Structure 1
Amino acid sequence: MRTVRRLLYADVLGAVAFVATAFLALFFFIDFVEEMGDVGQGAYRARHAALYCLLELPGHFYELFPIAVLIGTIYAMARLAQSSEFTILRTGGLGPGRALWLLALLGLAFGALTFVVGDYVGPYFDAKAQALRSSLRGDAAGNSGNGAWLRDRRIAGPDEQPAGERTDSVNIGNVGTDGRLDNVRIYEFGTNGELLARISARSAQVHEGSWLLQDVQLTRWRAGEGHALPPDERLTALTWPTQLSPAVVDAAVSPLQSMSTVDLYRYQSHLAQNEQAVQRQQIQFWKKALYPLACLVMVGLALPFAYLHARSGGVSVKVFGGILLGISFVLLNNVSTHLGLLRDWTPWIAAAAPSAFYLLLSMAAFSWLVRFR
């Protein structure tokens, strides 16, 4: 069995690596051609564009790897079937259950690799790429335009009047390359929803339990009277107490697609605790959490191709069929997300439906081929 495992795994790993490399080379070329339009801005040169595109490759790898697994595994299985090697393996004792178990283990390994790249490697290199691009082009902010609204609930401090629970609405203009928040506005509301204070700050540094605001303009209102207390206060710095942690702020200003599973969980938990709309973030969390298992689904889809006789079609035809299956999986995955938002489906069902459908489809095809072919 060790020899069978080595033969099977060597063929599948070689084919998957080849397909993944081809995909990454194609996307590197497309990204590089697109980046050439920005060459010449500031100190941004062609070599920097090439480096930027290289740093973006882990993110592309995460998105494309399940499809590469599908196409590579189909190619390996179809080639073994065409050369009758798989028939010899079956004659030598490789039953359907054992073949499925061997590929399932490989699919789990592919899924673990996808998880590591998507949660750790991809975001790290993507941040490096954005910092490189913005610094060389002379952008003022690495995430310019990526503002956000946040809500926080807290108990008023001993020096704050009136006492009781406060609801703070925070608007962030954009985020600087060093993590500094620019153009911050904070609106403090009392227990009955009355506006108590408005804080405008040129910038803010986020710390655990408090923010350090710089160049602050503070306006307060008398509770229940609806007018400001003149004059407005202008402060060089102000420490503002809050439960908005650096992790929550980073999640709020980052695109959902680039966030890790842990960050998505923290962010959607924060939104739920503050009674904010959370359906979109919950669906994205479940998609991120379940996406590595797509590799297991892909090897399940590929296994039935090993039981097709060579005269049922050449390797190229089967690979083309695999490409169509991969495209349909991506389309259904995207459609399921939008339908989940429109129909208010349970988030984990909306995220898991495409993978569950294709897994059932692959097992049905596998069972039929084993029984009747």
Structure 2
Amino acid sequence: MNGVLGRYLTRLFVARALAVLLGLAALLQLLDLLDKASDVLSRGGLADIGRYAMLRLPTTLGRLMPLAVLVGAILAFRQLAASLEVTAMRTAGIGTWRILGALAPACALAFLLQSALLLGVAPRTERALADWWDSRDPAERPLVLPQRLWLRNGTEIVAADAVSRDGGVLEGLLVIRRDTEGRALDRLDARRAAHGAEGWRLEGVRLIRPGASRPQEMAALPWPEGPAPRALRELARPTEAQSPARLLAGWRGEGPVSRGPAFYAARLHALAASAAAPFVMLLLAAPAAFGLPRQEGAFRRAAVGLVLGLGYLVAAGLMASIGEAGGLHPVAAAWATPVLFAMAGLLLLWREEG
């Protein structure tokens, strides 16, 4: 395709997708602020509203990227069809696939931007937001959790009722120490655990060993195998966005984890499958380029593409949740949706060109 025409199509598409992205992000940010404004103001002043919005923005932009590609492509294709530019291009021998190929680099750019936001920026901003939200509470004072935190730390099974904001103090601690084959060696119940310069120290300990006639009571006991406070903080107050390195470590069972391998494997495959989302959205929007300005069915083509694109997002989220819960193999949970909707897009495109 001629380079000038390719740049023209790309500018047309990118301008509309960017406008949709910023418009939707502004709307969602406004609705979120209306809901959280009183809580934000109670933590500071008007400046904190801007701080809250900026920390939320990377996650909002990243999640809206596929929808912005879909709506931006539909708007661009409808303008091309309304001005008869698609008709002129097809008359000149420029088919639909060459038009889609010209827009593919813009879709790849959208995926790279989404990945940078959700994998690079959002994990940091969400953690900063969570820490700031709890900043009124002393870092060393344990905060009672809505439900008991359970995690695997090497061969140990650990549970805690309360975790301080910095992860350095635990209350209501249970530790089940196991051998490499998973058999329980003993059970530790501790009233409190604190992390200092020499590592973890348990207080008010009750030790139970299999076969022992009675539990052993101790005032204090070192816990050198304890997890890092930072890891406990992240597990006690998890954020939605997680880096690929953290997901990969969780899948391998490296470090403390509160989920099974299926959860982390499903998240990793979902990240890989998200690369297909902008291209599938472009494919679903392509039928909107067909038809003459006053021809019946022009609105229907755009509406069908929009409904299928929204269905793609809902189905991808649902399948990801099922995969994270272990209900489906991670590969099937992540890749079934893009494959099925890509086939639906190809079928619609074949039907229009036929």
Superposition TM-score, scaled by structure 2 size: 0.83
Partner of 1:62: 62
How far the C-alpha of 1:287 sits from its partner, in A, is 1.8
Distance in 2, matches of 1:255 and 1:83, equals 50
User: Structure 1 residue 168 and structure 2 residue 156: aligned?
Assistant: yes
Q: Which amino acid aligns with 1:169?
A: I
Q: Which moved more, 1:351-360 or 1:255-264?
A: 255-264
Change (3 A) 1:314 1:71: farther
How far the C-alpha of 1:91 sits from its partner, in A, is 3.2
How far the C-alpha of 1:216 sits from its partner, in A, is 2.9
Matches within 5 A, 1:131-210: 131-135=131-135, 145=146, 148-153=149-154, 167-180=155-168, 182-183=170-171, 185-191=173-179, 193-198=183-188, 200=190, 202-205=192-195
Partner of 1:240: 224
Partner of 2:104: 104
Change (3 A) 1:142 1:90: farther
Q: Secondary structure at the match of 2:29?
A: helix
Alpha-carbon contact 1:173-1:181 (below 8 Å) kept = no
How far the C-alpha of 1:120 sits from its partner, in A, is 0.8
Alpha-carbon contact 2:62-2:117 (below 8 Å) kept = yes
User: Structure 1 residue 119 and structure 2 residue 119: aligned?
Assistant: yes
Q: Which amino acid aligns with 1:232?
A: M
How far the C-alpha of 1:181 sits from its partner, in A, is 5.0
Partner of 1:354: 337
Distance in 2, matches of 1:124 and 1:341, equals 23
Change (3 A) 1:175 1:22: farther
Q: Secondary structure at the match of 1:213?
A: strand
Distance in 2, matches of 1:282 and 1:173, equals 28
How far the C-alpha of 1:134 sits from its partner, in A, is 2.4
Which of 260, 270, 283 lines up with 1:287 in the alignment? 270
Which of 268, 279, 283 lines up with 2:251 in the alignment? 268
How far the C-alpha of 1:282 sits from its partner, in A, is 2.9
Identical-residue share of aligned pairs (%): 21
How far the C-alpha of 1:93 sits from its partner, in A, is 4.1
Q: Secondary structure at the match of 1:149?
A: strand
**CA deviations over 1:51-100 (Å, ceiling 9, x no partner):** 20221011111111101110011100111111012222333442333223
Alpha-carbon contact 2:21-2:61 (below 8 Å) kept = yes
Structure 2: runs of 5+ lacking an equivalent = none
Matches within 5 A, 1:76-115: 76-115=76-115
Distance in 2, matches of 1:206 and 1:66, equals 46
Q: Secondary structure at the match of 1:27?
A: helix
Alpha-carbon contact 1:181-1:203 (below 8 Å) kept = yes
Q: Which moved more, 1:285-294 or 1:80-89?
A: 285-294
**CA deviations over 1:249-271 (Å, ceiling 9, x no partner):** 56644547322233222213218
Change (3 A) 1:330 1:262: same
Alpha-carbon contact 1:141-1:177 (below 8 Å) kept = yes
Distance in 2, matches of 1:100 and 1:134, equals 47
Change (3 A) 1:216 1:294: same
Structure 1: runs of 5+ lacking an equivalent = 154-166
**CA deviations over 1:101-134 (Å, ceiling 9, x no partner):** 2222222221111111110111212222222332
Q: Which moved more, 1:314-323 or 1:328-337?
A: 314-323
- In angstroms, what is the RMSD of aligned CA positions? 3.6
Aligned length: 350
Partner of 1:11: 12
Alpha-carbon contact 1:130-1:142 (below 8 Å) kept = no
Change (3 A) 1:148 1:115: same
Alpha-carbon contact 1:297-1:358 (below 8 Å) kept = yes
Distance in 2, matches of 1:3 and 1:143, equals 62
Distance in 2, matches of 1:134 and 1:297, equals 40
